Amino acid sequence: MMYPREVIEDVRIGNDIVGLASQYVTLRQRGGSYVGLCPFHREKTPSFTVSPDKQLYYCFGCGASGNVISFAMQIENYDFTDALRFLADRIRYALPEKELSPEYLRQIKLKEDVYEINRTAAKFFYERLNSPVGAGAAAYLDGRGVGKRARVAFGLGYCPEDKNELGDHLASAGVNKNSLSRAGLVGSRFYGRLMFPIFDVSGRVTGFGARSLNDGGAKYLNSPETPVFEKSKNLYGINFARLSRRREFILVEGYTDVVSLYQYGFKNAVASLGTSFNAEHVRLLKKYCEGVVLLFDSDEAGAAAVDKAIPIIEAGGLKVNVLRLAGAKDPDEFLRTNGPEAFAERLADAQSAVAYKIGGIKDKHDLGKTEGRIAFTTGAAGVLSQLTNMIERDAYIKQIAADSGISREAIARETDKLTERGAEFVANRDPRLSYAERGALNERGVTEAAKAAISLAAADARLCGAIRENLDPSELPSPVYTKLLEAVFEARDAGRHIYGAELVSIFTEIDEQKKASDVFATAAVDAYGENIGKTLTELLKKIKLFKIERDAMLTADPVKLREYTGMKNAVGGLDIKIN
């Protein structure tokens, strides 16, 4: 749930950023700040700075930044809500729970009961694996090279074939019969199977996966849907991957792949739970990583699964790479045969999704024939037409030309033709901006201008008024900056003092928080002295012109193009005076 802004601010203020950071980093005072080795990247010279006055941190090495909530999110790999709860517990602050109706309380109690039943059952399964009755399951794990440490970490277990054992054990533990049925363990299909407890990000057992140890029945089974388990929203191994704090996770097909990778030191692996990978899985991943390496079995089914997963992950805003392990059917076999060093080398060379798609098209055609070269190049141009980064597109065009013997110019023309709105882009080049000029629109420059403008608005009421009069927040180059400037305006209207660390907390994603906190590292009024009016004029011109030029690139309508020309002329006459 999302808590009220006042509650978020109570928790933030109650947790000193220096005190929290000191639990993870050795800090020493330097002037009015504290410095230490950054916990988010490897370094030998301290570049991690914590400001007790601003209640913000910033690393000059990797750029990590934010307030105390951001720090908890990054260091523990929590999402916003879990970080807030973590910080609230730290200061014994009772977070309010809204609408505590009898039905709501009943559902909460049922979930707590199911979690406890799952925990009790997982412990029972683990104990049975390590007893004579679990000898067959233990032998299977021995054969797969799964050692004791991995068995303990994942809580691997065995469900006895005796159908009374599980029920009798849970009954003796005082389990409520109604809750037991809701946990999906009554009439269990798990008898005689190797058990894989499925944990959520907090380490609670939400359900189970079970592998058959003979040829009877389905090879794998999962718990049915319960109040705490939805397989379309869970990923096996997410609890360990979150704690790995790696910005890239490895997505594999099955439980044993995750266990094997963990055992060899790759603790950032996850697997879907016997269901098709979907957008819900991507939303879960996006809370904890920035990219995914797809590593599925080296067969037709694995290739089909990769082709299906790539667009889902890309649509969710995560970077995608693909790793195919030639000579091994799955990661477990490769690791046992070649070892972790060889796997790490392959992982570092994982293909981008674009390279993977182009490679797949290339494999389908005979490049020794003219028809094959044409078909390959046309198909590859279709892939490139989806790219918005011109540098990336040009790099692939160069490689495709080398592979096919077809000129780069011809491939570029075909790609342009296939690009969505390509005709508009081509038509727009001559009347307004040359291709080089459009490519040179300086996004970094306008970003710095936006940060400076927001910082100035937060620091000085006179400048805030001038900015409000001459700039609409929607003209800023990022939704984060738009929301931030609107928050500054709101605070000014309410007569509240503006704290950067407070405004960072209006965002719940770590990349948004970083953008927001970076704004308040920007030099404010004093850095500009008597030239503040001129400086502000140039900042706003840069922001407004960028927005106009970016919008103009997306239309071929001559009426709109004339409107944009008039808007540019009006911006050219902007002249802000600060008394």
pLDDT at 206: 92
317 backbone φψ class: left, alpha, beta (φ>0; ψ -120 to 50)? left
Segments of the chain scoring below 50 in pLDDT? 420-441, 525-526
The answer to whether the Cα torsion of 202, 294, 255, 316 is positive or negative is positive
Task: Name the strand (E) or helix (H) holding 448.
Answer: helix 443-459
pLDDT at 437: 35
Residue 263 CB neighbours (<10 A): 22
pLDDT at 104: 63
For the question of whether the overall pTM of this predicted structure is more than 0.75, the answer is no
Write out the DSSP string of 491-544. HHHHTPPP-HHHHHTT--SHHHHHHHHHHTTS--GGGTGGGHHHHHHHHHHHHH
Residue by residue, what is the 3-state secondary structure of 19-88? HHHHCCCCCEEECCEEEECCCCCCCCCCCEEEECCCCEEEECCCCCEECHHHHHHHHHCCCHHHHHHHHH
> Of 87, 92, 61, 77, which Cα lies nearest the Cα of 501?
87
All domains of the chain in start order, with CATH: 5-90 (3.90.580.10), 102-229 (3.90.980.10), 233-349 (3.40.1360.10), 356-420 (1.20.50), 443-572 (1.10.860.10)
pLDDT at 275: 65
pLDDT at 429: 37
> Of 241, 254, 165, which Cα lies nearest the Cα of 209?
254
